[in-house]
Structure 1
């Protein structure tokens, strides 16, 4: 680590840090100089990878849909590192099915993790972000900007995240806290390879070829680079940063 690292001395919380996108974001925040709290829910621990990058790492179990669990996670982060500068709301859930196939549990689980979880973690960390003039990065999706069949509850949750992002950006501007949404396109995560493409006749590769103008899927590293940009851009707030290989420009 050098003094030129843009996040030198900062502390970041990444929820869903055991998944592909969360781990990619955590790695890049560490490479930029940040210590990282890895908030996971029965996921793989990537703490050693962060330490190998020369940064401190601390893993904490959390259920982002439960206020007591979130409050305990934030208190543990503060106890471990003494400050919070960057909060990445990345934890997410998805099930697939048409509106008539969804039951109440499907709806509640996706909305609780994606929308309510983003709200609870943001609310719990804002007092500390005000102290450090920090930033919130809400990992949304291009599904929060467009409509798609068979996961209406997921799309609704991501639209909710984008709306919350914009409102918080205005509400926290006077505190010099920035709030942005990061909207991935198609990443080879378990969500895509195990839940989305198996439900269709197309393979993951066929889907990428069909819908992405650049002809390649996005990577966890892409999301990490975008997160570092948002974490270090003091005049960017209330934005939806789309990293999708051109998908949104190809929709007619």
Structure 2
């Protein structure tokens, strides 16, 4: 059966759709003939992406960690486009640097968006997914495989999101709602490019094995994910060869600690271990939205 016959005419929801992987995945699902709901913080970016699609698309500006706002948005999506068959919890932000000197608010916000936001997304759309016997995809990361130093908030949030999705999968299996987890490696997004401008994260990547440093184009990664959605896959690897890393997961913390014990003192001597703050345009959009909310509450 062709991919268009599987998904064509149905509704998909993608969070974090204003840029990067979310925008790429929106395009892939639209190519399959799906109506698309784009959720994010940047209205102009969302509308620009939606205008370029050849399918019906609606944009919703919302904070994925806000239960009430997400519940309202989920009802609006169903009213506007019909109950979704596919929901992708993609929204994510990151910050880097030593945990001891990290900004508590930024650290907490990464967990709120990446982990709590994923759970809020699932809670908001489960009624619709139950009615369509749909598919929920959690965007995780290789950060869930083996937590890296200097990325504690991001690694904790992605490991938590993985565990959340595994628990949800077990709960939903008898109700015929599929739950998938996508393990995504370095992807050429604003967040990753911004990270490379910070010495602390550039050095972190430089100490990885050569094959683990490669960055993949957004369109290619989105294609891998969309093919997994076609098949309601329980696990999606981007790139596909990451599946061979899974059996090595118990050993990765020991390897990471061994390298860190050697590398971090040298980086610290050079004065490069400084906090980055929230990374990329998406992180800055989240900061601006928070500042705007704070201003309105005064």
Query: Could you tell me which residue of structure 2 aligns to residue 122 of structure 1?
Result: 122
Distance 1:125 1:222 in 2: 27
1:28-39 equivalences under 5 Å are 28-39=28-39
The answer to whether the 8 A contact 1:209-1:216 is kept is no
Q: Cα 1:21–1:58, aligned 2, differ >3 Å: closer, same or farther?
A: same
More displaced stretch, 193-202 vs 222-231: 193-202
1:58-137 equivalences under 5 Å are 58-137=58-137
Distance 2:3 2:193 in 1: 40
The answer to whether the 8 A contact 2:40-2:46 is kept is no
1:178-209 Cα shifts (integer Å, max 9, x gaps): 111112111111111112452348489x8599
The answer to whether the 8 A contact 1:47-1:57 is kept is no
Residue 116 of structure 1, CA deviation: 0.2
Distance 1:95 1:201 in 2: 10
Query: Could you tell me which residue of structure 2 aligns to residue 212 of structure 1?
Result: 211
Distance 1:127 1:207 in 2: 45
The structure that is helix-richer by fraction is: 2
Residue 44 of structure 1, CA deviation: 5.0
Secondary structure of the residue aligned to 1:45 is: helix
Aligned pair count reads 246
The answer to whether the 8 A contact 1:18-1:45 is kept is yes
More displaced stretch, 159-168 vs 47-56: 47-56
Q: Cα 1:32–1:207, aligned 2, differ >3 Å: closer, same or farther?
A: farther
Secondary structure of the residue aligned to 1:73 is: helix
Distance 2:67 2:196 in 1: 29
Residue 94 of structure 1, CA deviation: 0.8
The answer to whether the 8 A contact 1:13-1:86 is kept is yes
| TM-score normalized by the length of structure 2 | 0.74
Residue ranges of structure 2 left out of the alignment (5+ in a row): 256-298
Secondary structure of the residue aligned to 2:198 is: helix
Distance 1:29 1:58 in 2: 14
Distance 1:4 1:56 in 2: 15
Tell whether 2:238 aligns with 1:243.
Answer: yes
The answer to whether the 8 A contact 1:15-1:39 is kept is yes
The answer to whether the 8 A contact 1:208-1:217 is kept is no
Residue ranges of structure 1 left out of the alignment (5+ in a row): none
